[in-house]
Amino acid sequence: MTERDDDRTLLAPRDRTQHANAVGLGTVIKDRFVLESVIGKGGMGMVYRAKDLRMEETQDRDPYVALKILKDEFQRDTQMVVALQREARKAQTLAHPNIATVYDFDRDGQLVYLTMEALDGDPLDQVIAANTDGLPRSQALPIIRGLSLGLAYAHNNNIIHSDFKPANVFLTDDEHTKILDFGIARAAPTGQMEASETDAFDAGSLGALTPSYAACEMFEGADPHAADDVYALAIIAYQLLSGRHPFDNLPAPEARRRKLEPAPLKGLKRREWHALKKGLAFARSDRSQHAAEFLRDFEGGSKLWLAFGAVVLIAAAFAAYISYVQFEEVRRTAPDIPFVELPEAAQLDFTRLLEEGDLLLQFRDINSSLSLYLQAYQLHPRNQEAVKRLESFFGELTGKTIDAGNSQRIAELYENLDAVMATDDFLGYLPSLVKLRDRLEDTARK
């Protein structure tokens, strides 16, 4: 089924007897989801905590999901239905600890809904409102880090949130941040796709931006850019640390017209303040261009580069451990197409993926860095730079995980390594990875 066929199916309800006004607590959606309580209300719809009867039948320990239903007035609005579908589709591609997991998009009669992981905690806007002088640094800094890492992962996947704000962030009871609602997320232009290959629907055309968090370029209709999300991220970071908006909730164009500047915050290190000011710049060209860049500026580069140096040394030590015969095996199995013969855009993408993977590894964002390394490998299979990254990544992690002696972590790492090796026969039989997998398996048996 093509994407357009899928859209037509969703926009042609099988049963028009059920109406959104009939929805309430106790309603059963799709003969499966029982609405038990209201979690929140957004611009596009209501979010409920719902029990998944199918999960309950299989005796799942946590049979609950969050279920978002499109508002009644939008039920027959084709654009809004497509917007919700795009929210699900984009969010389903983002598997990261700081991004809420979206499960499915469906409809029951006229009710259009999506399901996502149920979260226990509070929306970040409520947390900020309850702390008028800002949160303690010990609480605010991990939140800023989590938001930055979640956005960086989305940016690495070429997705811009486009409506990033505290109401679209959830702080769980165990103080983990979860970014929600990619409802108007827009793919950043890459210059690598023909017009016929792009999605003709632009959720940003709905105009669903939040004025006090939107960058000037968003008001001007410019193409989406990761720096737009950085502007909102810097505002949220400022609010977490001070309890107030840096520009008194004024839209960016008006704050720029008045030549407002954010008031300095007490207790910040110089690099932290410079990073915030850079992120709050009205001109896109003056802002951090990526959430990872913002985090690097905010946390400082020296210690991180030292940490990265340690990773390089470990990688070198691990490479020395691999036998001459194994290197010969790798050398003989070269890529089908030499790197220099790849299209220039592919070469740039490959280099970017490795560099961003290295950068996020500095921030100890293991999931994102592995994803980027694997994307680079898949872009140019058997490329030795990508292979070395994967080898050193799993080599270091295997040693640390075994030394820690956590049997669950060992099992999880084994599964991840096994999944990467299943990418193709080359990785599947690569001696270095085979040895690591055997080592993990032997440790798990002890």
Rounded to the nearest angstrom, the gap between the alpha carbon of residue 277 and the centroid of all alpha carbons in its chain is 24
Distance in angstroms (rounded) separating the CA atoms of residues 210 and 272? 25
Rounded to the nearest angstrom, the gap between the alpha carbon of residue 407 and the centroid of all alpha carbons in its chain is 28
Active-site position among 52, 163, 181, 349: 163
Rounded to 5, what percent of the chain is helix, strand, coil?
A: 55, 10, 35
Residue in the block written with tokens 């309950």? 56
Residues 6+ apart with CB under 8 A from 184: 83, 87, 162, 163, 203, 204, 206, 208, 209
Distance in angstroms (rounded) separating the CA atoms of residues 124 and 130? 10
Other C-beta atoms closer than 10 Å to the C-beta of 379 total 16
Please say if 286 is a catalytic residue: no
Distance in angstroms (rounded) separating the CA atoms of residues 92 and 40? 21
Residue 67 three-state SS:
strand
- What string of DSSP letters covers 94-144? ---TTBPPEEEEEEETTEEEEEEE---EEEHHHHHHT-TT---HHHHHHHH
User: Rounded to 5 degrees, what are φ and ψ at 178?
Assistant: -130, 120
Pairing mode, strands 64-70 and 102-108? unpaired
Residue in the block written with tokens 């239905």? 81
Distance in angstroms (rounded) separating the CA atoms of residues 166 and 125? 5
Distance in angstroms (rounded) separating the CA atoms of residues 376 and 156? 12
User: Rounded to 5 degrees, what are φ and ψ at 93?
Assistant: -85, -5
Residues 6+ apart with CB under 8 A from 218: 162, 204, 209, 224, 228
Query: In residues, how long is the chain?
Result: 446
Start-to-end Cα distance in the chain: 48
Largest CA-CA distance found in the chain, in angstroms, rounded: 71
Tokens of 104: 């499915």
Is residue 111 within 8 Å of residue 265, measured between CB atoms? no
Active site residues: 163
